[in-house]
């Protein structure tokens, strides 16, 4: 039982140290600025799809 507790404590300590060191942020290839650009492009793509869908529905309704 003590061994399980020690393993869990070691895991928790390791996780805390990993998060303090930057966690998964440093492991990504894409920078934060590039990710923002990608998100904006996705939003624009969705907006264009929605506009095209509305346009098609209006054309079919006429």
**pTM as predicted:** 0.49
Please state, in angstroms and rounded to a whole number, the distance separating the CA atoms of residues 35 and 14: 28
In which band, very low, low, confident or very high, does the pLDDT at 54 lie, cut at 50, 70 and 90? very high
**Residue 28 pLDDT:** 63
- The domain locations on the chain are 1-28, 31-62
pLDDT digits (tens, 9 = 90+) for 4-27: 888 899 999 998 888 777 666 655
Residue among 49, 56, 27, 53 at smallest CA distance from 41: 49
């Amino acid at each position: 039982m003590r061994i399980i507790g020690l393993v869990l404590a070691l895991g928790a300590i390791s996780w805390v140290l990993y998060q303090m060191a930057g966690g998964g942020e440093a492991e990504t290839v894409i920078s934060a600025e590039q990710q923002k650009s990608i998100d904006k492009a996705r939003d624009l793509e969705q907006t264009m799809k929605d506009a095209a869908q509305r346009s098609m529905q209006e054309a079919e309704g006429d």
